Structure 1
Amino acid sequence: MPESEGRKSANPVPMAPEEAALFMSRRKQGAYTLLDVRQDWEYEEFHLPGARHVPLPDLADRLGEIPRNAPVITYCRSGKRSAAAAGLLSGQGFAPVFELDGGIEAWNGQVATGSRDTGMLAFPESPSPPAVLALAYGMEDVLGAQYLRLAEQCPDPAVAETLTTLAGFEDKHKTLIRILFEKLGPGHESLETLAGRFPPVMESGRSLDDYMRESGGNLTAPADVLQLAMQIEAQALDLYMRYAEAPGPGEARDIFLRLAREEKGHLKALGNLLTRERG
């Protein structure tokens, strides 16, 4: 058990990146607050998936945006601003509060990119649970089809097999989404009909070509494919968490959190595959 696990202190507690990663992996999305206190341009460049963004100069005026009934982990670039933020939160009665030791510069895990609005146009302004699930279903379908397309075009059998495996992951996600949709009860149009009303976009709200360009377009080994997939899943996790925290999601919030948890689990599975691939 990490040193900080289970600790509830009135003072901020430094948390090593590895400890923070384990802390978050043991908790559901929404059961803690990951708080990025850097400036807007820093957040847009890259940030931890699912982080809530409140720049340090604005924090005192926006304390009401941060849940008081859950642990808070603050982070910045190297740790100085997050230490100040953690001290402010502790002084206002938030507990437990942790600060990421070394900031995002010390983080070795996945990151997401873009502003708080990146990809959010994919969903309706006030989505209903059926609409959320329908669009999520369509996103999984598009990504799975893209993986299969790349597999068919790939001359390397090992890379093609990895892409086909990833397409299978998306099929499993679609099955789960269908189960969640059916639990909503009768009175809705079919999942496929609702999904067909949305534009064909990937689950992160971006295109596979975007990711290919960012990664240099080189998929020469299974590890390259897995790293690309992890980037996409991290972006999707970030998108769902931003929607869950946005004003007015209403009853769809629980659906967003459930989808974020699934992406988090998928990201962990991909990490295990990458570790196995690198032997």
Structure 2
Amino acid sequence: MTSLFDSAIPHPHGYRDVDVHQLAAVPTTHASLVDVREPSEFDGLLGHLDGARLVPLATVLDVAASWPRNADVLLVCRSGGRSAKAAAQLVARGFTRVMNLRGGMLAWNTAELPVVRPPLGPPPTLARVLDELLAGLHRTVAPESPAPIYGQGPSREALTALLDALQATPPTTARDAPGFERLLRECRDLLSVARPGESR
């Protein structure tokens, strides 16, 4: 039987990338699941993987000092960026079987895979994500103009494309740049857990 590490995609920095579907299909009983987000994220909207251990990125190298260098370690974060950084750090410290969950908890939630999270009620609808985005854009870009009227939202793909475009080219008129970045981040989180057709 091929292990998760053996079937993962090699990365130039020495660790391997694991796709969410690949992880969901293989039992992780032989890998340490390590979530490198902050505690508020671990128990927040995106939740965490069952069996994951919280080790925030700033503490990974100190905590990992006692781990076996040849053990399978799978790192997880919100989008795969911080966990990739942690993976590269562990490889540099001599760990030989390090993996990164590509796309992180955003991809895991978007794929509708099982998540451990506090009860939050029903997931938001795609229309709610659009409403949140429009309301936030109104607050950060043009608060003096009349608020838009909100309604039924487009598809997940259309919302993702809109968020990608806003991330790539932020409006120059945004009065609160950190607020705008926070808005995009929150909308991506909402979008990953949103389900079409459910009540608002």
Normalising by structure 1, report the TM-score: 0.36
Would you tell me which structure has more helix in proportion to its own residues? Answer: 1
Structure number with greater CO (CA < 8 Å, separation at least 6) is 2
Normalising by structure 2, report the TM-score: 0.50
Would you tell me which structure has more strand in proportion to its own residues? Answer: 2
